[in-house]
Every structure is written in structure tokens, then in C-alpha cells.
Copies of this chain bind each other. A is one copy, B any other.
């Protein structure tokens, strides 16, 4: 549990100061993604939490106080130094030490990790080098690396300190697609052991990684919660991403690993999901993008579409000139569909209509 109520004032030569005020409480398990516009204050929030930025207020990490400047009169203000917070941090830039080569950079992190209680760090340099694909780079000087190579090493370094909390600021944005595809599952795995605070601009990463998200807007925490909940909320600044899609809970019925298909139930209706490995739990979450949902008044036959859900149209709104966003109800859950206005009119849809929503199995993000 990470609980904070902090204020940070920046003096920007402007008439009035730029005051950021973050308040919230995050359940620390898995990845919590921090999401928001450029300049919203994500980096500042992370830096305050890491103790790299002086700020006013309180921060509480599990049982441990990290900051308390609102102490009672006869008490001392309390500030736990960054190095005592046992966090691993990946910055927006790699920040490798220029006087050391790759291996030495990593050893600097290892040296510190082994002197702390949990000497049984689950990560070692060799394992990480293999998993993140930089085994041949170990003897390189850091100035000899490409942008993406540096970033992978920065991630390894943060992990090697054996942290109790991992803070990552857009760690994958400079990586190529293959590296991203390698690292995303890796980070998801890591998050089973170490909670991660994760800043990203990618909705894909957001939904792929996180059970929990924190929405930052104009220097404030706008909302904290499950991504699918927040994306459904039309009051939030996320509204502009409404077209993106939602997460639904699926009960696993059968798993066919040879075909790589899961047959699941969404409130009683069958949904096929592609997979590469057996899911860990009976109940899984998948993301259905609004742009992938096809609406039909009759079930579609004789096509490659495997999924046909009987849904009810509960709301619709014009998104931009040519598209409509429909909110569809499946039992107790919702999905969005984004279709052209022309189709909307052609199908003569209205609130309450019962229609069929089709989604390609390939489009469902597990």
C-alpha cells in the first residue's frame, strides 16, 4: 500500500506558481500505471515518491513512513532518504554512468543489493542479459550503445538492486517492437514479485500490464482504479480515449493449447481468446478494442469470426464527424464499439436495441 498526499510548487517565472498536488492511495500488487498528458505531472509525481524532489506532505509505503512534513508541533519533520526507500528506478533517459562499462554499471547495482536483507535476489546479471538480450554488450562502454540498448541496461540495473518497489518512467518508449514484445511479458512477470509504478503513453502497455491505474491531469490525481472502470467513466479526462476499448472478465471454460485457444464465458456467452500458455487463474481479463467490434442485427455466419455476443445497446455518442461510439451491455459488463455513422444509420440502431457484437479472436488482447 502506497499512500500519499503531497504538494510540489514550481516557480516558473510566471505570475503565480505552478502547484502540483497529488493525493491518493495505491494497492501495491502488480503494475500500477500512471497515465496522463505530456506535462501533466507524471514524472514529478514519481520523483516525489522516490524522494528525488523536495515536497510537502506525507508518503506512507506499507508500514513505513517515507515523508511527513505535517508533523505535530513538537515532532520532527520526517523524511526518509531515497537510498533507504529501497526503490528501483528507471528514468525517462537511461542515465548510465559514463565512466563504467555495461558490466560495471550493473555491478554497482548488485553491490548494493547483496548488502541488504534479501540477498537471494531473483535477478542476476547473466540471467537479465539473456532475457533482455544484451549479453554481447557487457564489455561495451556506455557511449558505444544505441538508445534502445542503453534503456534495456537501465532496466536491468534497476532490477538488480532487488527493490521493494520499481518505478519506471516510460521505460519502453525508445525500444523497437521486438524489444517491446520481449519486455512487456517480462515486466508482467517481474510485477508478480515486485510491485511496479509505471508511466506510459501507450494504451496498449497500460491495458496489457496493469490491473490498476492512476490518472494524472494538470498536476492532480484525477482518479485511481481499474483501467476498465476509468475508461468507462465519461467524467474523466480519459474520455478522449473512449474509442480505445475496455477490459472484460472472462471465465475460462476449456483450454486448447494445440490450437492456442481459450474458450471462455462472458456473463454466460462464449468468447474465444487466443493464448500461448495456460492461464494462471480461472478468471482472466481481456481487452476488447472498440474499433474491433462489429455490430450486426443477425449473427454472422460462414465467416472467420468466431465470437458472436448478444448485447444490448445502452448508450451511443458521436465521437467525431464520421464515427459513433456505442456502449454495449453484456450481462453485467460493458464493451465499446466504434462504427461509422453510416453503419449506425443503416442498421437503424437506437438505445435498447438488441444486436450482435462480433470480435475477431485475433483482435482480443489477452
Contacts and interface: CB of A to CB of B under 8 A. Distances in A.
Interface stretch (A32-40, A68-76, A116-124): A32-40
A201 B202 CA distance: 13
Give the residue among A13, A203, A272, A322 with the most B Cβ atoms within 10 A: A322
Contact of A302 (B152, B276, B347): B347
Interface residues of A, number: 82
Nearest to A145: B39
A99 to B, nearest CB: 15
A283 interface: no
A322 B274 contact: yes
The 10 A-B residue pairs whose C-beta atoms are closest, nearest first, are A260-B322, A38-B148, A296-B303, A304-B343, A260-B321, A295-B304, A304-B339, A173-B173, A38-B176, A39-B146
A360 interface: yes
Interface stretch (A136-144, A157-165, A186-194, A207-215): A136-144
Interface in A1-57: 10, 12-14, 36-44
A248 interface: no
Interface string A326-338: 0000000000011
A298 B292 contact: no
Contact of A149 (B39, B42, B323, B338): B39
B304 A13 contact: no
Interface of A: 10, 12-14, 36-44, 92-93, 101, 139-141, 144-149, 152, 169-170, 173-180, 201, 203, 240-241, 257-261, 272, 274-276, 291-292, 294-298, 300-306, 320-323, 337-344, 346-347, 358, 360-363
Given A260-B320, A304-B340, A177 B148 contact: no
A140 B18 CA distance: 12
5 contacts: A92-B174, A259-B322, A294-B358, A296-B300, A340-B362
A274 B319 CA distance: 13
A342 B39 contact: no
B297 A305 contact: no
A298 B149 CA distance: 49
B302 A296 contact: yes
B292 A296 contact: no
A149 B101 CA distance: 31
Contacts of A179: 37-38
A13 B140 contact: yes
